[in-house]
Amino acid sequence: MIVLVNGNRWWYVTARGFRSRTVHQRVGALITLAGSETRAAPGDQVTFTGTVAPSHAGQAVQLQALEASGWQTVASGTLDQTSAFSLAYTFPSEATYQLRIYLPWGAQNINSYSPGVSVTVKAIFKIKHVVIIMQENRSFDQYFGTFPGAQGIPGLAGNPGTLPCEPDPVNGGCVQPFHDTNDKNYGGPHGAANATADMDCTDPSTRSGCRMDGFVGQAEKGQSCTSNDPNCSPCTTQTHAQCVDVMGYHDAGEIPNYWAYAENFVLQDHMYEPNASWSLPEHLFQVSEWSAFCTNPLDPSSCTNALQNPNPSDGQEHYAWTDMTYLLHQQNVSWAYYVFQGTEPDCENDSAMTCAPVQQGPKTPGIWNPLPSFTDVAQDGQLSNIQSLSNFFTAAKAGTLPAVSWIDPNGTVSEHPTALVSAGQTYVTGLINTIMQSPDWDSTAIFLSWDDWGGFYDQVVPPIADENGYGLRVPGIVISPYARQGMIDHQTLSHDAYNKFIEDDFLGGQRLDPATDGRPDPRPDVRENSPILGDLTADFDFTQPPRPPLILPVCPTTDLTPPPSC
């Protein structure tokens, strides 16, 4: 005889008037189990809840973890009147934990176990919100070339070496770095050809014999300079009306808030633009790790490498390859790309110094806002994640920031020449103050950088990651309650490191890799896996208590000329 047993039963058998003895048949209870988190950091407490059926109200239950010696009880409790439980456990160290609920043998049941659940514990999971603030067109030496302890301008601020003197092909002689207090800077052209010329290498393909001495000449070429044009004289003094200013540098007198962030958190003095080109390719790398030209907007295989001109001649952007939001969407990770309504001043041809500004907004594809043109963003129904900057302030104040945020400036606050340095510093300070005053501050990492060098002088030869870069050195700052204090990170980094951090934090280490990401494209390599790329987790101490906010004045006192009015 076969009988389906779905609960405790008393059994006996009768046949021809005879009856067997009664048997009490116990069965296993049905137990559900769910954790409040599937990922945690060491020291985090996770709550596990569930129910037991049929009711075993008042009976003891145990939360068990699988260890090398077998299942061990890590928490215990009692079922409530509804036969439900809630048990908490604080995870001590990094590992992937297997857990279950154990209902011990009793009068109404045999030993019973829930299905197992797993929790991955890593220190990086302290960070639940990554915010990338990308400004425009400044080299490391222009902003931090005299910062103590950083690899800055030779011969200044205690840096070893002789003060450089860049050749001036128009006026003759050479130009040395000078302290520039002007709020408005002009910079130089900054396309792919200009990057090559600025580095001035004997062999550009290997970056050997690089003299790093083309900055003045390229700026003069960009301004169509002649020797009798007074606006084309190299700047040599702290204040000026207009001249070739690419050798100028700022310090704490002009950008006190940026220096305060560097002094109190982490300054990266070997952060490079991911590609040796201008703003559009950089912003494409920022969200997708590639810049390409595609002949079919629906076919990733139609894309080919394009370092300078990824857009077709019809002006309609077709970005068919895979971007970071595709991976985030696949794993249900929230994201937003916040766009500050206004103009973008960057020229489609960055060998030009100036051009007419164009409007930008969340729904308008542009040089600084490329995601609306990615096919996979539309296919995933995620275009609404590209939002107005006002939504960022709303989310930050409410403590509802997405896991990943990119913030795109407008021309006025971008620091893209000739936008004022003071306007950018005020804008960035406002963003950071808002995050620091948010309920999300204790779980946030802010990555602040500038998209390219803007034609300004920098003395470090960029290393080679692949055929596309790296580009020239740019400032990078890490701001977080878990950031190390007053550290200068000398690792080789590029903006690729931001995506690597996001992938390690939220995506289980999945890369934008055609072989594994489920949407293959012909990109030349997996940038996040470059052997020369450093690891941003080195900039954090996840064992320290969360550091308090550093709220700075949005309109600080500076030495800028003319004095800013915020």
Look at the alpha carbons of 245, 247, 252, 258 in this order and tell me if their dihedral is positive or negative: positive
Are the C-beta atoms of 455 and 181 separated by less than 8 Å?
A: no
Confidence of residue 24 (pLDDT cuts 50, 70, 90): low
Report d(CA 335, CA 478) in Å as an integer. 20
Residue 11 has pLDDT above 50, yes or no: no
Are the C-beta atoms of 159 and 319 separated by less than 8 Å?
A: no
Are the C-beta atoms of 267 and 147 separated by less than 8 Å?
A: yes
Confidence of residue 227 (pLDDT cuts 50, 70, 90): confident
What are 561's two structure tokens?
A: 């000329």
What 394-402 contacts at long range (C-beta under 8 Å, 24+ apart), as own/partner pairs, is 395/336, 396/434, 396/435, 396/438, 396/440, 397/434, 397/437, 397/438, 398/439, 399/438, 399/439, 399/440, 400/440, 401/129, 401/131, 401/435, 401/438, 401/440, 401/444, 402/129, 402/334, 402/335, 402/336
Nearest to 59 by CA among 75, 39, 79, 31: 79
Burial 8-37, CB ≥16 within 10 A → b, else e:
eeeeeeeeeeeeeeeeeebeebebebebeb
Are the C-beta atoms of 226 and 170 separated by less than 8 Å?
A: yes
pTM of this structure = 0.93
Are the C-beta atoms of 323 and 373 separated by less than 8 Å?
A: no
For range 266-275, the mean pLDDT: 99
What are 102's two structure tokens?
A: 């154990």
SS3 content of the chain, % helix, strand, coil (to 5): 20, 25, 55
The region of weakest confidence among 118-122, 227-231, 477-481 is 227-231
Question: Is the model more confident about 308 or about 91?
Answer: 91
Find where tokens 């829930």 sit: 114
Beta bridge partners of 76: 62
Residue 323 has pLDDT above 70, yes or no: yes
Q: What's at 110, amino acid-wise?
A: I
Nearest to 503 by CA among 327, 369, 336: 327
Nearest to 432 by CA among 279, 265, 184: 265
- DSSP label at residue 449: E
Report d(CA 564, CA 558) in Å as an integer. 8
Residue 17 has pLDDT above 70, yes or no: no
Confidence of residue 14 (pLDDT cuts 50, 70, 90): low
pLDDT tens figures, 28-54:
899 999 999 999 999 999 999 999 999
Report d(CA 449, CA 274) in Å as an integer. 12
Nearest to 288 by CA among 310, 264, 261: 310
pLDDT at 314: 57
Max mean pLDDT range (299-313, 354-368, 473-487): 473-487
Find where tokens 């197992």 sit: 116
Q: What is the mean pLDDT of the chain?
A: 93
Phi, psi (5° rounding) for residue 216?
A: -65, -45
For range 254-258, the mean pLDDT: 99
pLDDT at 238: 52
pLDDT at 370: 96
Neighbours of 51 (CB within 10 A): 19
pLDDT tens figures, 377-434:
999 999 999 999 999 999 999 999 999 999 999 999 999 999 999 999 999 999 999 9
Are the C-beta atoms of 274 and 470 separated by less than 8 Å?
A: yes
Burial 254-275, CB ≥16 within 10 A → b, else e:
bbbbbbebbebbbbbbbbbbbb
Report d(CA 380, CA 207) in Å as an integer. 40
Express as a percent the part of the chain with pLDDT over 90.
Answer: 84
Q: Which domains does the chain have, with CATH numbers?
A: 29-121 (2.60.40.1930), 125-141+252-539 (3.40.720.10)
For range 334-339, the mean pLDDT: 99
Beta-strand relationship, 70-78 and 95-103: unpaired
Q: Which residues contact 218 (CB under 8 A, 6 or more apart)?
A: 188, 189, 194, 197, 198, 246, 455
For range 483-490, the mean pLDDT: 99
Are the C-beta atoms of 128 and 443 separated by less than 8 Å?
A: yes
CA 533 from centroid of its chain's CA atoms:
14
Report d(CA 436, CA 380) in Å as an integer. 32
Report d(CA 3, CA 24) in Å as an integer. 14
Nearest to 216 by CA among 192, 232, 193: 232
